Amino acid sequence: MRQLCVFLPAIMLATAAQAAETPPDAKALIQPEIVEAVAEWLSNPIVALSINAQNNLRGSLSQADIDALDAQWRQEREAADKPLISATLSAPLSIYLLRVQAGSLGLYPEIFVMDANGLNVGQSAITSDYWQGDEAKFQKTFPNGPETVFIDEPEWDDGSKIWRAQLNMTITDPETKKAIGAATVEFNLTELMRRQGTGS
């Protein structure tokens, strides 16, 4: 029995190591019908209303202004007083995204929506930064116009022992049909494979 107890964890560690070495095909797993389902709940009026409100409030910011907001966000992550973070997390859009995340039962570890400047408008959890405009999730969606979809490469989360990948898409105003922002939906690919019956 003692040998069995030692052997089983070894098998589990070997399985986890093997999983970490073999990245899944995110683009094959996040199928068109899954993208359509995400686009459907992102079409909730609260998404476009929130983005348009922030775009109207902030307009076209200078890079210095964007950097200042991003720096404030990073500082607030370590501070007791968090006015910018609190305002963002308590926004109706963030509450909606948190509900979507909870309803996914582990499929979406993180969701956030950005404005035309690449700044967060709403999010399901605190992100490491406030400005996403210098990252592929924004640069390969919003500037390319409506209906743009970009699925990033999978990454291994060693803490959670899961594969993750981000589905990114441009958000379009339902009336003007113009791009107004972007959204990132992070997928737990390990859970997605389990649901699709393709995981080990």
The domain spanning residue 135 has which CATH number? 3.30.450.20
Report whether pLDDT(2) > 70: no
Residue-wise pLDDT for 4-16, tens only, equals 555 555 545 445 5
* 175-190 average pLDDT score: 98
Give the residue from 168, 169, 170, 161 showing the smallest Cα distance to 189: 161
| Structural domain of 133 | 26-198
pLDDT at 19: 55
Report whether pLDDT(18) > 70: no
pLDDT at 60: 86
Count of the separate structural domains present in the chain: 1
Backbone angles phi, psi at 125, to 5 degrees: -155, 165
Q: Is residue 80 part of a domain?
A: yes
Report whether pLDDT(188) > 60: yes
Q: How many angstroms separate the Cα of 31 from the Cα of each of 38, 44, 111, 166? A: 11, 21, 18, 13
Q: Is residue 13 part of a domain?
A: no
Band (pLDDT 50/70/90 cuts) for residue 186 is very high
Residue-wise pLDDT for 25-66, tens only, equals 999 999 999 999 999 999 999 999 999 999 999 988 999 999
Q: Is residue 2 part of a domain?
A: no
Q: What percent of the chain has pLDDT over 70?
A: 89
Q: Is residue 16 part of a domain?
A: no
Does pTM top 0.85 for this prediction?
Answer: yes
Give the residue from 119, 124, 144 showing the smallest Cα distance to 54: 119
Q: Is residue 9 part of a domain?
A: no
pLDDT at 198: 74
Residue-wise pLDDT for 70-125, tens only, equals 999 999 999 999 999 999 999 999 999 999 999 999 999 999 999 999 999 999 99
Q: Is residue 18 part of a domain?
A: no
Q: Which two tokens stand for residue 172?
A: 């379009």
pLDDT at 11: 46
Q: Is residue 61 part of a domain?
A: yes
Q: Is residue 5 part of a domain?
A: no
Burial of 10 (0-12, 13-18, 19+ CB in 10 A): exposed
